[in-house]
Structure 1
Amino acid sequence: MNVHEQIPEAQAQTSARFYEALDVTASFDVLTEPSHYKPVPNDWFVGTADIVNSTGEIANGRYKTVNMVGAAVISAIANAIGSNTFPYVFGGDGASFALHVSQREIAERTLADLRRWASEKFDIELRAAIAPAPDIRQAGVDVRVARFAASSGADYAMFAGGGLAWVDEQMKAGHMMVGLSDPGAEPDLTGLSCRWTNVQAEQGEIISLVVLPTSGASERDFADIAQRVVQAIGGLNRAGHPVPVNGPRVGWSSPGLNLEAHSLRGRMPVWLFKCSLFFKTLFSWTLFKTDLNVGSFDPVHYKRMLSANADYRKFDDGLKMTLDCDPKTRAKIEAILSEAETRGKIRYGLFAQSEAMVTCFVPSAMEDDHVHFIDGAAGGYAQAAAQLKT
């Protein structure tokens, strides 16, 4: 008898709505405190996926492809379950999420489809794993979640407890792996796009930061260090938000258009889908360039919500940020982290570049719940994470 069958129906229904029932906070600062995170119920599971040798792919100039495949994990799962109200986190070269056990079969099938799709469309090896919450807790770690409102339209999950990191380690060791679907399988990636041009740094440079606790750090230790970093970036304009208030500069992203065509064409010939996408993109570009309203669609409002909804900072068993940062603040951040690293409390990686990149998941352009994943445009989180291995 599985975990789901052992739980009374009413209790299972309450458990399935766990994430929807969580309080939502609009203050990122308070999320440094462990007390704001609630454990997922025991009849939940964690899924994760990432690209094998993402740093090598980036070295070959495929950083936009890496981000597209990473964000595809979230869009595919959201489309498969019919909702984007579930806890997930984007990691640059992959993503993690948590769901109720009733959705495990569809999640596993979707991950298997994603692995096949990434291999056939981009010659990228995407690995994936699934772990039930009881297995994670038996390993001495936990999965706890909080909800952060980036704006009135979108909120993101934050994770603590070490569970995501443990599942990631298990996956990289070859455990709990999800297999490959049959050749030709494709996930539903409706709403996934990466047409925006990159965003130039305005305060100095775009830094991608990954900070992880060591085994010698308590939750209190890491919370105090994270709080000091968050306070340090408070002196930056808009706390280092890399996307301007009125959205990215309107331009034409040929690499993004090509990626989208290869990702979403299904069985349609790529040239035909690309032609269709070209005219749709031209129409959208005209609207955003002229700020012309069409029906109920307001391009000015959309661009402002794009900026407001941008996912440029997160907690996922660590602290990750993509910031528009000046030299003085960077030096302050590095001083805090170097001191903490010397004390054996953290490991960190920091990678600097001149631009940030936006990858979008837009279920509907008429609603305000579209989400936008931000990463450094020259490798970002994957490059920063690679420094943790040295």
Structure 2
Amino acid sequence: MLIHISADRKNASVTSVPRDTIVEIPECTEPKTGTKFKATKATINQTLGRGGAGCTLATWEKLTNIYIDHWMTIDFSGVVKMADAIGGVDVCVNQDVYDGPKPGVGGGSGLKLRAGTTKVQGEQALQWLRTRHAFGSDLGRAKAQHMYMNSMIRGLKSQNAFTDIPRLTNLAEAATKSLEVSEEIGSVKKLLDLALLLKDVPVNRITMATIPVLEAPSDRNRVVIDTADAEKMWTMLRKDVALDANGDPAPAGSGSPSAPAPGPTPATSQPPASDPAKTTVQVVNGTGVGAPAVSKRATAIAGQLVSKGFALAKADSTLTPEKATLVRYATDAQAADAQAVAAALGIPAGSVQKSATASKITVVVGADWREGDAYPQQPAPEAGAVPETAEVLNGTDTSCMDVYGPYQKW
């Protein structure tokens, strides 16, 4: 799940990718053993075993072209502990459900509920989150997880938990015993600060969604990303456009969201951009998406940069297909220089990203810029313009899950 909280802290979203989605997994290294795994194409749930959470994060960044600031994982026992710590979560099914083994279909989470609303906690909460067959598929499971999270947030808000600092601190302390987190949020206080970002987000501005997918041509039990619809969602997240339409309308004629673009914000003490003549820039050709790559496109844009004073700009012969043009950089010290490169080419600030895979400032000339010297300006997507295929669920939605027929009997 990718969690995004808007720069103005007025809306938030959670986007799931089904575990059986076939994606491109980059080369990864297991940090504890140093074992290297070659780049491959496989289901996204395999990333954790190919280098841990860092490989999962790198795969998400490759999939979305979104810089991810933090990561956390919670183990099964942690789910049970957290469900108990918050006093349980209300869930609802339209029919009786028993997610047990069936002839020819083993396993099952063991979830057993009567139709209607039940407050689940402990082991039962874990069973709800793991139920797959009784809810039809991975997509059904993602929807059930979204219902659980929405219900949990509604419950915490109704209890004023986000303003009860002692209670929130206790929850954070309980969470740290079950969570594995990225280094920069490895304390109770920092985890608490992260939770407080949700304090002022109204429930009707929280959106749960599943990335649009299609049945994999090679395997009907696997899915692939629906690239057209998925890209609309990734663009909204990159540009910090709300997935809901419940906010105040943008000022007339603004043409873009008022909030700054998402991603790492340079510290106020950060030095200004360096002398362009001393800034090393790599330009790669990414125009080969949906059509053959445009010949010498990287060379042409590198030439544009040289003409604007970036004397060290050079084209790279690598072909790296990307739908959208991006400027990537490796370290915070390069952030201002990367923004200067983007400005010289007319590339919007929201398309400048810190990336774990970058080694230097790199301009990726995408399929959206196949000709011309200046980057063609793209209209900003409208708030709430999420494809119907994304299975959107608003935070106020209290609907119930339908149970797949064979699993309605106890």
**Same fold, judged at TM 0.5 (above):** no
**TM-score of the aligned structures, taking structure 2 as reference length:** 0.25
Q: Which has the higher helix share?
A: 1
**TM-score of the aligned structures, taking structure 1 as reference length:** 0.26
* Structure showing greater Rg: 2
